[in-house]
Structures are given as C-alpha cells and as structure tokens.
Chains A and B, each alone.
Chain A
Amino acid sequence: DTGVSQNPRHKITKRGQNVTFRCDPISEHNRLYWYRQTLGQGPEFLTYFQNEAQLEKSRLLSDRFSAERPKGSFSTLEIQRTEQGDSAMYLCAGGGGTSGIFYNEQFFGPGTRLTVL
C-alpha cells in the first residue's frame, strides 16, 4: 500500500456531464502527478504539481481537462462535458519526497475508473 488514495474508485456518467476525481497523497509527497490509462496501454502523463504549483499542463488532453492542488496536499482532476473517449482509468501518483536522492520516484494510487455512457 503506497498510502495514496483516490476517490471515487469507479464513476459512471452520461456523455456531456462534468466529473471530478480526488487524489490524496501522503504528506511527504510534495509532487503529485496525474495519468490516464486506457485498456492495454501504459499510463499516459497528463500533468503534475510541485506543492501547489502546476508545473506542466501542456499534456492535458484538451481544454475540457483541468487539475488543481490548492493547498499543496490533495488534488482534483475535472473533466467537463465528458465524451465516450474519456472512458479510462485515471491514476494519480505522489512523489518528490524530502530526500533529494529519491525525488523522482512515483507511487501510484489505485485509480478511478471512468465510464462515459
């Protein structure tokens, strides 16, 4: 168990609805990453935070995707106007602990599986 939790674990929604997922890393994780994983593929990087600063968002899949980490602890990923192609597993990972040697290790949560009908 990495200590990273994600909620909800499963989400079923209708096309056009907005959805929001939450990720809670452990307190030592000053970095937080979001990935998308489709069936039979490896995780695909979306965005990441160093504390509350979003350091890269160019790989968010479209402007319908947004992420926040307002207090540098938990993070949310929102998808607006969902489409059937958004159906996937959304993973978050914590990392970048206080040890400089292991700053790029990433520890994943269990994921949120999104199904868009």
Chain B
Amino acid sequence: DAGVIQSPRHEVTEMGQEVTLRCKPISGHDYLFWYRQTMMRGLELLIYFNNNVPIDDSGMPEDRFSAKMPNASFSTLKIQPSEPRDSAVYFCASSSLLGQPQHFGDGTRLSIL
C-alpha cells in the first residue's frame, strides 16, 4: 500500500532559481496539504486542496510560492525565485475525509544557497 510520495527528497539550489516540489497523494484521498517545517516556526500549513481545487492558500508566504493540483494523483509546489529563507523541509500530506488523520510523505529538504 503506497503512501504519500514526494520528490525530490533533497534539493540544493542557488538563490534566484526556480524550485519545483512534487507530491503523489494516496489514491482515493480527496484532500491534499502542503506544509513547511522549520526549527523556528514549526510545522506550518501553506495550502490545501479538496478534489484538486485549492481551498485555503492563506499560509502561502508570498507570491513567489504557487501550488497546483492538475489531477487527483499529482500536485506541485513551486517557488520562483527562491531565496535562502525558503530553506526548510516541505511536506505533503493527504487525507480521505474532513478531520480524519493525515498521511504524510517523507518530505523534501530544500536548501537555498
């Protein structure tokens, strides 16, 4: 039973470059969440989708961040242009129903130099 799959696991890039993070949720899950985890701020919700539609993007820090979900099995989080303060671990999670437990991927560790 495949869990949430994220790629890449690690990304190191220079400031100003475009970064694309990818996520494949668990099949049949209608909700997809993107989180960012840092030591200073903990785990922050960036955006979530329901049935591929963005519902709440109030956590997206700036216009440099964008997320899409073109179909039920794929989502991307894009940062353009990237900055050193974007360095963090980015998690994708999915769930089947309102308020139900979320299943997390193993994250993408992003370092912006």
Q: A and B: partners?
A: no
